[in-house]
Structure 1
Amino acid sequence: MSEYFTPFEGIVLTKRQYREHDALVKIFTSEYGKRMFFIRGLSKQPNHPLKSSLNPVVHSQFLGRINPSGLSFLKDASVQNSRLKLQNDPINYAYAIYFMALIDAAFEDGEVQRELFDVLVQVMNHLEKGLSPNALQILLETHVLPFFGVDPDWMTCQITGKNAFHEPCYFSYQPYGVILVEAYNHLRQTHKSVPGLLSTSPQAVALCQRMRLITPNKLGQMNIKDETFQAAKQLLHNLYKDYAGIHLKSWDYLEDMLKWFK
Structure 2
Amino acid sequence: MSRITTDFRGIIMFRRDYRERDLLVKILTDKIGPAMFFVKGAKKRGFRMAADILPFTHGEYIGSLTDNGLSFINTASDTSQYRSIATDISKNAYATYILALVDSAFQDGQGIGGWFNQVVAALALINNGLDEQVIANVIETQLLVRFGVAPTWDRCVICGRDDLLLDFSEQYGGMLCRNHWHLDERRLHLDQRTVYYLQRFSTLNLQKLNSIKINPVTKRRLQFVMDSLYDNEVGLNLKSKQFIRQMGQWEEKLKKS
With the length of structure 2 as denominator, give the TM-score of the two structures. Answer: 0.90
Q: Could you tell which deviates more after superposition, 150-159 or 200-209?
A: 200-209
2:123 paired with 1:127: no
Question: Which SS does the other structure have where 1:134 is aligned?
Answer: helix
Question: Which SS does the other structure have where 1:66 is aligned?
Answer: strand
One-letter code aligned to 1:67: T
Question: How many residues are treated as equivalent by the alignment?
Answer: 250
2: CA distance between counterparts of 1:38 and 1:259? Answer: 38
2: CA distance between counterparts of 1:106 and 1:95? Answer: 16
2: CA distance between counterparts of 1:238 and 1:217? Answer: 27
Contact 2:52 2:79 in 1 (8 A): no
Cα offset, 1:73, TM superposition = 1.0
Match of 2:16 in 1: 16
Contact 2:35 2:70 in 1 (8 A): yes
Match of 1:197 in 2: 187
With the length of structure 1 as denominator, give the TM-score of the two structures. Answer: 0.88
Q: 1:219 to 1:4 in 2, by over 3 A?
A: closer
Q: Could you tell which deviates more after superposition, 89-98 or 66-75?
A: 66-75
Match of 1:40 in 2: 40
Contact 1:28 1:117 in 2 (8 A): yes
Cα offset, 1:132, TM superposition = 1.4
2:247 paired with 1:257: yes
Deviations 1:76-134 (A, max 9, x none): 11243311121011111111101100110001001101201000000111111111112
Cα offset, 1:8, TM superposition = 0.9
Match of 1:171 in 2: 168
Cα offset, 1:195, TM superposition = 4.1
Cα offset, 1:20, TM superposition = 2.1
Cα offset, 1:203, TM superposition = 2.5
2: CA distance between counterparts of 1:133 and 1:77? Answer: 28
Contact 2:67 2:108 in 1 (8 A): no
Aligned-pair Cα RMSD in Å: 2.0
Q: 1:194 to 1:244 in 2, by over 3 A?
A: closer
Q: Could you tell which deviates more after superposition, 143-152 or 47-56?
A: 47-56
The equivalences for 1:84-99 within 5 A come to 84-99=83-98
| Divergent runs of 4+, >6 A | none
**Ranges in structure 1 where 5+ consecutive residues have no aligned partner:** 188-192
Contact 2:167 2:195 in 1 (8 A): yes
Cα offset, 1:180, TM superposition = 2.1
2: CA distance between counterparts of 1:231 and 1:126? Answer: 22
Question: Which SS does the other structure have where 1:114 is aligned?
Answer: coil
Contact 1:34 1:110 in 2 (8 A): yes
Question: Which SS does the other structure have where 2:156 is aligned?
Answer: coil
2: CA distance between counterparts of 1:137 and 1:47? Answer: 36
Deviations 1:162-193 (A, max 9, x none): 025xx532111222211123542xx3xxxxx5
Match of 1:152 in 2: 151
Match of 2:80 in 1: 81
**Ranges in structure 2 where 5+ consecutive residues have no aligned partner:** none
Q: 1:251 to 1:4 in 2, by over 3 A?
A: closer
Cα offset, 1:210, TM superposition = 0.9
Contact 1:132 1:221 in 2 (8 A): no
